[in-house]
Copies of this chain bind each other. A is one copy, B any other.
Amino acid sequence: MSPEEGCTAFAPATVGNVICGFDIFGLALEAPGDRVTAWPSSRPGVRIREIAGDGGRLPKNPDRNSATVAIRALLLSTGRHDGIEVSILKGLPLSGGMGGSAASAVAGVIAADALLGTKAPLEVLLQCSVEGEATASGGAHLDNVAPALYGGLVLVRPGRSRPVVRLPIPQELHVSLLHPEVEVSTREARRVLGTSVPLAEAVAQWGSTAAFVHALHSGDWDLLQDSLQDRIAEPRRAHLIPGFEAVRQAALDAGALACGISGAGPSMLSLCRGAERARAVGEAMASAFHQSVKFEASLHLSPVAERGARVEASSAETSG
Contact = CB atoms under 8 A, between A and B. Distances in A.
Contacts of A162: 211, 222-223, 226
Interface in A258-296: none
Interface string A183-214: 00000000001111111101111111111111
Interface in A65-114: none
Given A205-B206, A206-B205, A157 B211 contact: yes
Contact of A161 (B155, B213, B226): B226
Contact of A209 (B156, B198, B210, B218): B210
A60 interface: no
Contacts of A232: 199, 202
Interface in A217-238: 217-218, 222-223, 226, 232
Contact of A226 (B21, B160, B202, B208): B160
Interface in A150-182: 155-157, 160-162, 165, 167
A212 B210 contact: yes
A245 interface: no
A212 B214 CA distance: 10
10 contacts: A24-B203, A25-B210, A167-B214, A195-B200, A196-B196, A196-B198, A196-B199, A207-B209, A210-B212, A214-B217
Given A25-B210, A165-B211, A165-B223, 8 more contacts: A23-B203, A156-B207, A157-B207, A157-B208, A160-B226, A161-B226, A162-B223, A207-B209
Interface of A: 21-25, 155-157, 160-162, 165, 167, 193-200, 202-214, 217-218, 222-223, 226, 232
